[in-house]
Amino acid sequence: MSWGLLLVFALLSQTAAVWALFSPYPQAMQLGLFVVAHLVASLLLSALLLMVMPHRFARRRTWVLLLFVSVAFFIPVLGGLGLIVDMVYFRMTRKAIKRPEFHSLKIPPFLEEGSHIAQGMGEGGAWSRLRTVDLPRPQRLKALLAVSTTGGRKVNRLLRLATGDTDDEIRLLAFNLFDRQEKVVTQAISQNLGELKKVRGSAQRAELCRSLALSYWEMVYNDLAQAELQNFFVEQSLNYASQACELGGDDPAMALLIGRIHLLRGQTDQAEAMILKAQSLGALPARVLPYLAEIAYTRRDFKALTDYLQQETSLKHKPGIGPVAQFWGVASWQK
């Protein structure tokens, strides 16, 4: 029932109460009719006023309703008029007042501790800023500089993406940052190659071969090498890792590296053999199990995959492999 219809009923009830006082009935009946009609009118007016009042003024609605009914009932004329005036006032003011839009909010006290602005930004923030062409150039340059300090495979891919940007400054900065990282690894390779020609001892040669194998692998793994040179760097990494094993004996790191190179080439049997050898030589389970799980996945051996990931519980908490270990490390997916 609408607010206006209830108001009409209330006014009709109040009119009926007044009519009862001047009706030709006996006084007792006049009084009874007046009380009933006036009580109905008081209840309706009080309920209508309660409906239009702001909620902060009517939290204890039952008591407020009783107060309004008492005022309207025991002050027959002025009480009802007062309620109607209040209704008109609240309806007009609530329509006139518009809800203010929130532009800023004060930080709650319990969040002040973590409200300090970070000095840098993560890969996700840098990705979003660099991909948004409409952003001002300083913000995109800041994102590029912030993410370039962390290094790694994903960052290098981000820098490679930025080298194709339409903005000349961003493209040149990305080229510069990418070239700087490539030069660091290239200089290390050149230095080790020069020293390798001079040394004669097996131990020193093994150590230099080990460094060369890791440097060449870094060029591939961190996506620093051009696509045409990747096969060459992979071959060099495998060559020097094999030499390091021959000269310096069994090395779990070199065995694992050789296994990863075979895995990159899709040679799963050779990769599994070398990774298991690295495990037998003392490589940490958290280092070798993800690769064994990857080999099991390529073979569609999901039971073995689950077994590998369940052997090391710490994998569930490591970045990158964590969500994978959490999914495959439970048996519920097999049901």
Task: Give the pLDDT of residue 309.
Answer: 85
Residues 6+ apart with CB under 8 A from 311: 285, 289
**69: nearest Cα among 46, 85, 90:** 46
Q: Torsion over CA of 294, 296, 301 and 307, rounded to 10 degrees?
A: -90
What is the DSSP track for 211-225?
A: HHHHHHHHHHHTT-S
CB 71 within 8 A of CB 45: no
Is residue 274 predicted with pLDDT exceeding 90?
A: yes
Tell me the residue length of the chain. Answer: 335
Q: Read off the tokens for 3.
A: 């607010």
C-alpha span between 70 and 74 (Å, rounded): 6
Task: Give the pLDDT of residue 115.
Answer: 47
Task: Give the pLDDT of residue 333.
Answer: 53
Q: Between 214 and 56, whose confidence is greater? A: 214
Is residue 273 predicted with pLDDT exceeding 80?
A: yes
Across 2-6, 23-27, 180-184, 306-310, least confident range:
2-6
Q: Read off the tokens for 13.
A: 């009830």
Identity of residue 317: H
Highest mean pLDDT among 47-51, 116-120, 327-331: 47-51
Predicted TM-score (pTM) of this structure: 0.56
Taking CA atoms, 173 is separated from 19, 124, 143, 178, 287, in Å, by: 91, 19, 11, 8, 35
The alpha carbon of residue 221 and the mean position of all alpha carbons in its chain are separated, in whole angstroms, by 27
The whole-number average pLDDT for the span 216-223 is: 86
Q: Which residues of 97-123 are buried (b: 16+ CB within 10 A; e: fewer)?
A: eeeeeeeeeeeeeeeeeeeeeeeebeb
Is residue 258 predicted with pLDDT exceeding 90?
A: yes
Q: What mean pLDDT, rounded, does the chain reach? A: 81
Name the DSSP letter for residue 1: -
User: Using one digit for the tens of pLDDT, what is the confidence trace for 285-298?
Assistant: 888 999 999 999 99
Q: Read off the tokens for 96.
A: 């006139």
